[in-house]
Chain A
Amino acid sequence: MPSSVADTGDRMSTGVTHASRFVDELLHVLTLQDYNTNVVVVGVSALGLACGLIGSFLLLRKRALLGDAISHAMLPGIAGAFMVMSALGGSGKSLVGLLIGAAISGAAGLACILLIRHFSRIKEDAALGIILSVFFGLGVVLLTLIQQMRTASAAGLESFIYGKTASMLASDAIAILIAAVVISIACLVLFKEFTVLSFDQAYAQSQGFPVHGLDIVMTALVIAVMVIGLQAVGLILMIAMLVIPPAAARFWTDRLHRMLFCAGAIGLLSGLFGALISTLTPRMPAGAVIVLVAGAIFFVSMVFGTARGVVRRVVEHVGLARKVALQHLLRAMYELREAQADCEVTPTVLQEGRFSADALQPRRAWNGGELQQAIRLARRAGYLTPDSRGGVRLTESGANAAIHVVRNHRLWEIFLITHADIAPSHVDRDADMVEHVLDPAMIAELEAVLAKTDPALATLASPHHLPSAGGAG
C-alpha cells in the first residue's frame, strides 16, 4: 500500500524530503501560487463552513452520536461500491460511485438504528453502538477482501477512513465547494424551520410544519455533508467536523444565528489551516490535522468564550461572591446599629456608628479573613471610611446602601412568610440567597404585592425614600 499512497501524493505535490525544499513548498502553498492547492484549500474550507452550519442543528438536537454512527456506517458502502464497479469492469475508483455507495450505506445504517429503536426495547445509545460497530466491521472485512482480490487495485480506499487531501483532484475539490455552498444555502433558507424543529418539535408540528419531512431534509443534509467530506476528513473523524465547530461557537454566543455564523467560521478556519498543513506533509491524514485545528479552537473558545467561557464564569462567580460579602457586611452593620439605637435607623444614625471587627465578627459565620476582605471591598466601594480609633464608619453612600440592602432583605422575608407558605424558621437563609440575585423589577413587584396586602409592613420596612436603583451592587 505505501507505494501507491505516495503515487497519489505525487499528484498534489512533488515529494517533500529535504528541508530546503520544504521551505520552498511552504512559501509556495502559503502564497497560494499552486492552483491545485488553492482549489483544495478552498474546497475544504467550504466543507468546514457547511459542517459548522448543519452541525449546529445536529448538536442542538442532541444527535451527535447518531451522526457518528452514520459516518461509520458508510464504510461498507464504499467497499461495496468498489467491488460492484470492479465487477462491472471499471477500475472501481470512480469517486462519484464510491460516494453514492457511502451515502446508501450511511442511510441504511440510519434506517437500521430507527428500526431497532422502533421495534425493540433496546435503548438508543445501544442501538447506535451496535450499528456503528457492525457496519464498520463489515466495511473492514470487505476492504480486506478487496485487497486480496488480484484483479483490482484497492489503493486509496483507506483514505476514506482517515482522509487525504493529497489524493484530491481539483475537480473533486470544486465538486466539494459547490456541494458545500448548496448545503449552506439550504441551512440558511430553512433557518426558521430548523430552529423551531430543534427547539420544540411538538410545537412545530402543532403549527403545521411537516416535522418528519424537515427531519428527513436535515438528516439528508448531514449525510450529504459527510459524503462530500469523506475524502478530505475521512469517516472516522467526520463527526468531529460536525460537532466541534458548533460546540466551540456556543461558548461565544447565546443566539442561534450568531452561533451558526460562528460555527461556520470556525469550521472554515479549521478546514483552511488543516488543509494547508496537510498539503505540506503528504503522508499526514488530513482529517486528523483538520480535527486537531478545530480542537485547538474549541479549547480556546471554552476558556475565553465571551458568552459562557470558563474565564467569564469564574469572573462572574467572583463578582457574585463579592457582592454577597458586601451585602452581608452592610446588613450586619445595620443590624448592629439597630440593636444599639432606640430610635429609627436613619442614614445619620448609621453614619454615627463606629464599627470594629470584633463587634461585627459574631454577627455572621465569617472567618477573620472573610470579614477583613469584605471590609476592604466596602472601603474600595466608598462605603466605609477608617475611624481614628481603629474601626470603620459608614459613609453617606454606605449608609444608604445598607438601608437599601436591609429593606430588600426584609421585603423578601415578608413575602416568603405571607405568600409562599415557607416555614418562618427557614426564611432567613432563603432570603439571604435570593436577595443577591433579585433585580430591581422583581423588587418593585414585591413592594407592590406587599403594599396591597399589608401597607403597614411595606412602609415599615422602608421608612425612607431611597432611589430604587441605589447601589449595593
Chain B
Amino acid sequence: MMLHQNRPLVSDEASKPSAPEVVQRTADPVATGAEHPETAPLSMHDVTVAYHRKPVLWDVDFDAPEGHLIGIVGPNGAGKSTLLKAVLDLVPRVSGIVTIFGRPYRTQRQRVGYVPQRESVDWDFPVSALDVVTMGRYGRIGWFKPVGRADKEAAHAALDRVGMADYAKRQISQLSGGQQQRVFLARALAQEADLYLMDEPFAGVDAATEKAIIRILQELREKRRTVLVVHHDLQTVPEYFDHVVLLNMRVVAQGPTSEVFTPENLRKTYGGRLTLLEEAAHAIKRGGHG
C-alpha cells in the first residue's frame, strides 16, 4: 500500500494506460454498480477523456436519474467541466459512450440546455441581454432564417423567469456578474430542454442571485427536468442537491446526497491523486489474494 507514496510524479504514474483500468475494476460499488436504464436523461459508459495524452476523466460510468438536481463536486482539475463538455461533444472522447435519453447527443441537442462558465465569453460583445437569451432558440430556428416573434417571446419569458425582464435591452457589459449569470441561465431556459448542464452557475454571484438561481433549479426539478450542476461550495451541497457525483478524474461516488455525501467519500475525492494510488495498491493486493 505504501509502495508509491514517495514518488512525487504521481501524474506520470497516472497517465500509464493501465492505471485507470485498475482503479475502475475495484472502485467503490456505489460508483459503478448501477444498471444503465435505457432512457436515462444522461448515461455515460466508461467515458475517458484526455488532453494531450494526459487523462482528465477515467472510465466515468454514470447515469443521471430523471427529475433530480445533481451536484458534481470535486477538487480543481478533477474534470468537472470536462465531464459536461464530454457529454456535449465539445471535447473528443478517447473511449466510452454517452447517451441522452437513450440516444446519441447529436440527435438530442434540443433536449440539452448548456450553461457554460461565465468567464468563457467576452461580455463586451455588442449584444443585449435579450439577444443572448435568444441564442437559446437558434438551434430550433434553423439555418438562415431570422429570429421570429415566437422565439422573441420565448426569450422574453425566459428572462422574466430569472427576474431580468427589466434588463432585456441592456448591453451585457452593463450587467453585474450575477445578472450575467442569470442571462446565461435564461438562455438555457429559453431552449426548453429536458436536461440541463450547468458549469459553476454560482461562481462569483451575489447572495440574492444565488437564491434566485437555486429557486429556478428547484422549479425545473418539480417539472421533472434533470439538472447537473458543477458546484464548488461543499457547504451548500446537501441543501441544494438531492443527488451528488463526487468526481476526481473518475467517479469516486454517486447517489443520493444523504448516502453519498459523507466525510469518508469526500476524503477520497479531495485527498489528492495519492488516494488513487492507494486504491490501486489495494487492488493489486486484493487481486493477488483473489
Contacts and interface: CB of A to CB of B under 8 A. Distances in A.
User: Do the two chains belong together in a single complex?
Assistant: yes
A190 B135 CA distance: 14
B265 to A, nearest CB: 28
Contact of A254 (B89, B128, B143): B128
B116 A253 contact: no
A196 interface: yes
B106 interface: yes
Given A195-B127, A199-B127, A445-B208, 10 more contacts: A60-B126, A192-B141, A192-B147, A200-B135, A206-B112, A209-B139, A254-B171, A255-B126, A420-B206, A449-B208
Nearest 9 A/B pairs, CB to CB? A254-B171, A207-B139, A206-B88, A208-B109, A206-B114, A200-B121, A256-B126, A419-B207, A199-B125
B147 A420 contact: no
Nearest to B212: A445
Given A253-B126, A445-B208, A206 B109 contact: yes
A205 B109 CA distance: 10
A250 interface: yes
A190 B143 CA distance: 8
Interface string A165-202: 00000000000000000000000011011011011101
Interface of A: 60, 189-190, 192-193, 195-196, 198-200, 202-203, 205-209, 250, 253-256, 259, 419-420, 441, 445, 449
B132 A199 contact: yes
Nearest to A439: B166
A206 B90 contact: yes
Interface string B103-142: 0001001001010100011100111100110010011010
A198 to B, nearest CB: 7
B187 to A, nearest CB: 8
Nearest to B121: A200
Contacts, number: 75
The residue in B88, B89, B206, B208 that gathers the most chain A C-beta atoms within 10 A of its C-beta is B208
A259 B109 contact: no
Contacts of A256: 125-127, 131
10 contacts: A60-B126, A193-B143, A202-B85, A205-B89, A206-B114, A255-B171, A256-B125, A256-B131, A259-B126, A449-B208
B127 A192 contact: no
B287 interface: no
Given A206-B88, A206-B90, A207-B138, A200 B126 contact: no
Contacts of B208: 445, 449
Contacts of A255: 126-128, 131, 171
B109 A192 contact: no
A436 B206 CA distance: 18
B: interface residue count bin: 20 to 34
Contacts of A253: 126
Contacts of B125: 60, 198-199, 256
A354 B7 CA distance: 77
A205 B90 contact: yes
Nearest to B87: A206
The secondary structure that dominates the A interface is helix
Nearest to A449: B208
A207 B122 CA distance: 19
Contacts of A60: 125-126
Contact of B135 (A189, A199, A208, A419): A199
A60 B172 CA distance: 15
Interface in B76-117: 85, 88-90, 106, 109, 112, 114, 116
Contacts of B147: 192
Contacts of B131: 195, 255-256
A207 B113 CA distance: 9
A120 to B, nearest CB: 13
B93 to A, nearest CB: 15
B106 to A, nearest CB: 7
The residue in A209, A254, A259, A441 that gathers the most chain B C-beta atoms within 10 A of its C-beta is A254
B195 to A, nearest CB: 12
A205 B89 CA distance: 8
A253 B126 CA distance: 8
A416 to B, nearest CB: 10
A411 B160 CA distance: 25
B146 interface: yes
B175 to A, nearest CB: 11
Interface string B191-224: 0000000000000001110000000000000000
A196 B135 contact: yes
B148 to A, nearest CB: 11
Contacts of A419: 207
Contacts of A198: 125
Contacts of B171: 254-255
A420 B207 contact: yes
A208 B139 contact: yes
B120 A200 contact: yes
A206 B112 CA distance: 9
Nearest to B123: A199
B121 A250 contact: no
A196 B114 CA distance: 14
Contacts of B116: 200, 202-203
B200 to A, nearest CB: 14
Contact of B126 (A202, A254, A445): A254
Contacts of A259: 126
B218 to A, nearest CB: 17
Contacts of B143: 193
A281 to B, nearest CB: 37
A253 B131 CA distance: 14
A449 B207 CA distance: 10
B71 to A, nearest CB: 21
B168 to A, nearest CB: 12
A248 to B, nearest CB: 13
A227 B141 CA distance: 33
Contact of A199 (B112, B121, B207): B121
B90 A208 contact: no
Contacts of B126: 60, 250, 253-256, 259
A213 to B, nearest CB: 11
A193 B144 CA distance: 8
